[in-house]
Amino acid sequence: MKKIFLFPGQGSQYPGMALDFWEASSEVKKLFALASDVNGKDMKTLLAETDAAILKRSDVSQMTVTLANLSAMCFMKERGLAPDGVAGFSLGEYAALATAGVISTEDCFRLVKARGEIMQATVDGSEGGALNTGMGAVIGLSPQTITALLDEWNIDGLFAANFNSNRQTVVSGTASALAEAEALFKSNGAKRFVRLPVAGAFHSPLMRSAVERFALPLEGVLFNDPCLPLYSNVSGKRITSGAEAKRLALPHITSPVRWTDEEASIMADGFEAAFETGPGRTLAGLWKDANNAVPCHAAGTVQEILKIESSI
């Protein structure tokens, strides 16, 4: 069975995530130790004691979600369930890069630590960013309809950010732009407008200053050619070289996540099963929305992975 691992991004975090992997696996304990060394904080204590409000900060969530993703991947491999391809949603693409051998696990943690701190500083306004920004998911309208409405309204500070499925698109913007857009989307047939538990207007031009600052820590990191099929949020297509992966890392911060295109590329490459390898079930839901012919299984806890192992 040809398997692809899908790694979730920010917004999937919750207190206590991945601690079951720490309890179950000596290899995961090593991952926690490495992440703790890089972060300068004990990650087990952080995950056990931090509440949801703090976890949603980019300077906390980017390290913790990446650790949770890689812990799930590690436990999957220990159970004989290695991936034949990888993709990640937004931040999740860094776990995919590490799993595909493009960057080392240590460099993965170093990059997401720097990225999270830079992005949090941007949304806090301390590094030239916009204060009071966020993201909202528009449910029940097609991406084409949403794109047309955004062009028609031309609301200052509002951008399409994530093309998640045929019935869900995420927009990024300032607080005032999101408030205006919520009312307009609902009056134009949207079933719901859901604010996301993230710290800012990610995947939009409002994060431009973060791109400039992230260029420096990115510059010194070695990017190898992928040893597994690996897919890009920016292009929606397969990444063919380390040089391409590194080039895409900067626009990845401000470009929309083209997840629907990415899913189409994955399906065209003949995968027979997908696994959401990390916290939550968001990607499994988006996969189902796309009516893909193969299943996507939640693989974010020890219990879920043991259930998968017993059924294969």
pLDDT in tens, 95-111: 999 999 999 999 999 99
* Residues 296 and 284: beta-carbon distance below 8 Å: yes
19: its two tokens:
């601690």
pLDDT of residue 201: 93
At what angle are helices 143-153 and 175-187 packed, to 10 degrees?
120
CA gap 198, 65 in Å, rounded: 12
Number of H helices, E strands in the chain: 15, 8
pLDDT at 233: 98
Residue 52 CB coordination number (10 Å): 10
- Among 203, 204, 232, 297, the one annotated catalytic: 203
Q: How far is CA 143 from CA 152, 284, 287, in A?
A: 14, 19, 16
How many Å apart are CA 160 and CA 169, to the nearest integer?
Answer: 7
DSSP 2: -
Domains, in order of start, for the chain: 3-126+205-311 (3.40.366.10), 133-195 (3.30.70.250)
User: What is the DSSP code string of 66-90?
Assistant: HHHHHHHHHHHHHTT---SEEEEST
* φ, ψ for residue 146, nearest 5 deg: -65, -45
Q: Which of these is catalytic: 58, 90, 165, 204?
A: 90
Q: Are 271 and 85 in contact (CB under 8 A)?
A: yes
So what's the pLDDT on residue 124? 85
- pLDDT for the residue numbered 130: 53
Question: What's the pLDDT at 312?
Answer: 77
Cα dihedral 172, 205, 92, 127 sign: negative
Q: What are the pLDDT digits (tens) for 267-291? A: 999 999 999 999 999 999 999 999 8
Residues with Cβ within 8 Å of 174's Cβ and at least 6 positions away in sequence, in order, are 130, 132, 133, 156, 157, 158, 201, 206
Q: How many CB atoms lie within 10 A of CB 218?
A: 17
Which of the residues in the chain have pLDDT under 50? 128
Give strand ranges (E) for the chain.
3-7, 85-88, 133-139, 158-165, 168-174, 192-195, 273-276, 296-298
Contacts of 232-241 spanning 24+ positions with Cβ under 8 A: 232/93, 232/262, 233/88, 233/89, 233/90, 233/93, 233/257, 233/258, 233/259, 233/262, 234/258, 235/261, 236/260, 236/261, 236/262, 236/264, 236/265, 237/261, 237/262, 237/265, 238/265, 238/269, 239/102
Q: For residue 199, what pLDDT is reported?
A: 73
pLDDT of residue 200: 87
- Residue 64: which of 88, 37, 89, 35 has the closest Cα? 35
Among 69, 75, 117, 110, smallest CA distance to 93 is for: 69
Cα→Cα distances 120→33, 48, 56, 237, Å: 24, 22, 10, 28
Q: Give the 3-state secondary structure of residue 203.
A: coil
Which tokens hold the place of 164? 């998640």
Q: Is 90 a catalytic residue?
A: yes
Q: Is 174 helix (H, G, I), strand (E, B) or coil?
A: strand
